[in-house]
């Protein structure tokens, strides 16, 4: 186990593994949805995808191009992708016909939440129940009032870009990170379908980058604020506890008792208040047990999930640098979703083209793999 965890610190190994994770996630999206169209043969799409990713992987290796990597070019890229994303938010004229329910589930969940109604017992137009945790509802509420929940993905992209600009000083690395997310098929799918899935993990990754750059010497300089932030983020998606454990457990262990108590109190208070807003409207306790977000968001066997939580706890004490935190977060998040995918294949069969959620869930590791990969490039560039 020690050798395995220590090997994660290898820069060259991580460079290939993290890009492989990014590549696999997007390739699965390409094959899953590419097979549903008849305009371009899937083999041609896959070949073009390989070439494009080879080009993306080899960024910065051509000396003649070094002069073009300016901060102006990075900002142009951010603006262009943002405009494209805003346009993509309006691609679906009639999403009901496409059997895509994420946008509608988020909209009625927010509407019910604002009115104090119970969310988790009402099916959407496809008959699926909402599993939104209050942290995600809180983060999404701004875009609901803007009139289009799809703008959440645009906001998440801008947040990602901001933290990348803050953390990395090389314009080549900045350009690479922003482009990798911008052209990611998994994220483009989220934008078009107004799905908020990847945005939850972008919020966590951005928080980790921002907090580490702001409080590099001591993550618990502001324990109350940290507790509030972590409380909100923990209630976005259940799997986000994996990267948050890796990021904060070792610093929490090493900090003083006063800061631990302040952090713990603010964290528990935040979680309690947010959960109260979605659970108190339940009719009774039996109704709550039958319809609750923790059950609906259970994506993997409990013992398997417990194993990965223990693995995250162990990894936290090996992750002494922020880049190592992202390496572990990418790998473990990916493996969590692969385990869920394995369960789905075992129960539903290997035809994942008909399994909507499996491929989508794999994209949870996307922000961590991109940022981790860029840390490996930063060491090379630097």
Give the pLDDT of residue 42: 83
Q: Quickly list DSSP for 299-324.
A: -S-HHHHHHHHHHHHHHHHH--SHHH
Contact assessment for residue 126 and residue 102, using Cβ atoms and an 8 Å cutoff: no
Q: Quickly list DSSP for 4-55.
A: HHHHTT-HHHHHHHHHHHHHHHHHHHHHHHHTT-SSS-HHHHHHHHHHHHHH
Backbone φ and ψ for 20, nearest 5 degrees, come out as -65, -40
Can you tell me the distance from the alpha carbon of 316 to that of 251, in angstroms, rounded to the nearest whole number? Answer: 9
Task: Give pTM, 2 decimals.
Answer: 0.91
Non-local (6+) Cβ contacts of 179 within 8 A are: 56, 77
With vertex at residue 213, the alpha carbon angle to CA 165 and CA 140, rounded to the nearest 5 degrees, is 70
pLDDT tens digits, the chain, 382 residues: what are they? 555 555 555 667 899 999 999 999 999 888 887 777 778 888 888 899 999 999 888 876 666 666 777 899 999 999 999 999 998 887 766 655 556 667 677 888 888 888 888 888 877 766 677 888 899 999 988 888 887 777 889 999 999 999 999 999 989 999 999 999 999 999 998 888 888 889 999 999 999 999 999 998 899 999 999 999 999 999 998 899 999 999 999 999 999 999 999 999 999 999 999 999 988 888 888 877 777 777 666 555 678 888 999 999 999 999 889 999 999 999 999 999 888 777 766 666 555 445 544 677 889 999 999 999 999 987 655 4
Give the pLDDT of residue 351: 52
Contact assessment for residue 26 and residue 32, using Cβ atoms and an 8 Å cutoff: no
Q: Quickly list DSSP for 44-75.
A: HHHHHHHHHHHHHHTTT--GGGGGG--HHHHH
What is residue 124's DSSP assignment?
Answer: -
Give the pLDDT of residue 195: 81
Quick one: angle between helices 71-88 and 185-193, nearest 10? 40
Can you tell me the distance from the alpha carbon of 358 to that of 340, in angstroms, rounded to the nearest whole number? Answer: 7
Backbone φ and ψ for 123, nearest 5 degrees, come out as -75, 150
Can you tell me the distance from the alpha carbon of 264 to that of 145, in angstroms, rounded to the nearest whole number? Answer: 32
The closest alpha carbon to 232, from 274, 179, 186, belongs to: 274
User: Residue 123 forms beta bridges with which residues?
Assistant: 129
Torsion of CA 258, 261, 264, 270, to 10 degrees: -100
Residue 327: Cβ within 10 Å count = 30
Give the pLDDT of residue 154: 93
What is residue 129's DSSP assignment?
Answer: B
Can you tell me the distance from the alpha carbon of 333 to that of 336, in angstroms, rounded to the nearest whole number? Answer: 5
């Amino acid at each position: 186990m020690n050798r395995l965890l220590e090997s994660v610190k290898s820069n060259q190994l991580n460079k290939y593994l993290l890009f492989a994770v990014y590549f696999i996630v997007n390739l699965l999206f390409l094959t899953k949805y590419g097979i549903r169209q008849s305009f371009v043969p899937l083999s041609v799409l896959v070949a073009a995808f390989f070439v494009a990713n080879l080009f993306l992987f080899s960024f910065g290796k051509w000396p003649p191009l070094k002069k073009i990597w300016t901060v102006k070019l990075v900002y142009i890229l951010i603006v262009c992708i943002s405009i494209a994303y805003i346009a993509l938010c309006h691609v679906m004229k009639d999403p009901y016909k496409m059997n895509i329910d994420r946008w509608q589930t988020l909209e009625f969940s927010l509407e019910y939440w604002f009115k104090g109604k119970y969310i988790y017992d009402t099916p959407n137009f496809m008959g699926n129940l909402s599993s939104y945790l209050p942290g995600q509802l809180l983060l999404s509420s701004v875009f609901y009032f803007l009139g289009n929940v799809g703008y959440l993905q645009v906001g998440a992209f801008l947040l990602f870009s901001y933290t990348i600009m803050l953390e990395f000083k090389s314009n080549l690395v900045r350009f690479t990170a922003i482009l990798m997310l911008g052209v990611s098929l998994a994220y483009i799918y989220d934008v078009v379908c107004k799905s908020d899935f990847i945005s939850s993990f972008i919020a966590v990754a951005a928080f980790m980058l921002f907090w580490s750059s702001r409080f590099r010497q001591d993550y618990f300089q502001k324990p109350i604020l940290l507790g509030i932030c972590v409380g909100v983020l923990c209630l976005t998606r259940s799997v986000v506890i994996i990267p948050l454990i890796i990021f904060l457990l070792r610093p929490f262990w090493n900090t003083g008792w006063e800061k631990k108590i302040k952090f713990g109190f603010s964290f528990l208070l935040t979680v309690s208040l947010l959960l109260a807003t979605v659970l108190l409207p339940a009719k009774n306790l039996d109704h709550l047990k039958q319809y609750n977000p923790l059950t609906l968001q259970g994506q993997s066997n409990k013992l398997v999930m417990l194993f990965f939580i223990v693995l995250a706890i162990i990894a936290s004490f090996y992750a002494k640098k922020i880049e190592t935190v992202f390496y572990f977060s990418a790998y473990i998040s990916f493996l969590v979703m692969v385990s869920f995918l394995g369960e789905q294949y075992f129960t539903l069969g290997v035809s994942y083209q008909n399994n909507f959620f499996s491929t989508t869930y794999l994209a949870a590791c996307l922000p961590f793999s991109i940022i981790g990969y860029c840390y490996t490039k930063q060491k090379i560039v630097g």
